[in-house]
Amino acid sequence: MRKIIKLLTPENVHIEYELAGLGSRFTAFFIDCLIQILAIIFIRLLMHFMDFDLIYIVLELGIVDFVLFTYTLILFFHLAYFVFFETFQKGLTPGKRCMKLRVIKGTGAPIGIFDVILRGFLRLVFLLPGFFLVDIMFVVLSNKSQRIGDFAANTIVVKTDRQKKPVTLKELIALNKEEESSSNVYPVDNYEYNLLKDFLERKLELSERREVIAHNLNMYFMKKFNLEKPHESPYDFFEEIINLNSK
């Protein structure tokens, strides 16, 4: 089931995103992990060809300490991978790019390095055996498909085109100006549109109540559109609103 989120920016511009589900997020994560494994194998082969003696390190540290040291390095590499790509690619990793996903702030703004580090650290915590199931349950059950790290950093993962980038303040201002200069001088939401359409269709059935309702609607839209006085012909006014907003 698709989850659509509608974000309202400080410039009163509505932007709709489709939230990424568990399947696409897991696939992107799997691709990223596969890339990391290949990178680790490459580094290990490079160490072999450079005659880097791991046996000496094992003997110096002991097998237990060596395993813990290696595991710590792998976790650090895992965290650094996501911090690097999500910071410098604005919410993208190779896996997310393949699946056309992006991490953004809950407000629609691009994520910052603090958000990336917080998400990454909590990713490490919930990679521990058993804990990852909690993360999965949060993604499945939360309204915005957020895991623990997303809740902490106030981020969401959305589906996007390869060319789509996070909306910047400059782009939002330009979009807002474009909307203001459009031919639709009476923009309304779906509820207002359906209300007017229903009223015009049923006005003959309303008898004496019709004029009262028409007057109240006229006053409402006068205030909404900052008109100095109510429209002289409310029915023509309503028809004009309907025509401008019809799709």
pLDDT at 185: 75
Report the pLDDT averaged over residues 43-61: 67
pTM beyond 0.85, yes or no? no
Share of the chain above pLDDT 70, in %: 78
Share of the chain above pLDDT 90, in %: 17
Q: With 50 as the cut, is the pLDDT of residue 228 above it?
A: yes
DSSP secondary structure letter of residue 110 = B
> Residue 27: pLDDT band by 50, 70, 90 thresholds?
very high
Q: With 90 as the cut, is the pLDDT of residue 30 above it?
A: yes
How far are the Cα atoms of 48, 55, 57, 61, 174 from residue 67, in angstroms, in the given order?
18, 13, 11, 9, 55
Report the pLDDT averaged over residues 167-173: 58
Report the pLDDT averaged over residues 29-42: 92
Q: Are strands 14-19 and 155-159 parallel, antiparallel or unpaired?
A: antiparallel
**Integer Cα distance of 35 and 80 in angstroms:** 13
Taking residue 42's Cβ as centre, other Cβ atoms within 10 Å add up to: 10
Taking residue 195's Cβ as centre, other Cβ atoms within 10 Å add up to: 16
**Integer Cα distance of 82 and 88 in angstroms:** 10
Q: With 70 as the cut, is the pLDDT of residue 10 above it?
A: no
The mean-pLDDT minimum among 54-58, 122-126, 203-207 falls in: 54-58
Report the pLDDT averaged over residues 26-31: 92
Report the pLDDT averaged over residues 38-42: 89
Cα–Cα nearest to 111, from 36, 33, 165, 147: 165
**Integer Cα distance of 29 and 94 in angstroms:** 9
Cβ atoms 240, 186 nearer than 8 A = yes
Cα–Cα nearest to 244, from 160, 199, 182: 182
Taking residue 96's Cβ as centre, other Cβ atoms within 10 Å add up to: 26
Highest mean pLDDT out of 18-27, 176-185, 208-217: 18-27
At 109, list the tokens. 């703004």
> Residue 123: pLDDT band by 50, 70, 90 thresholds?
confident
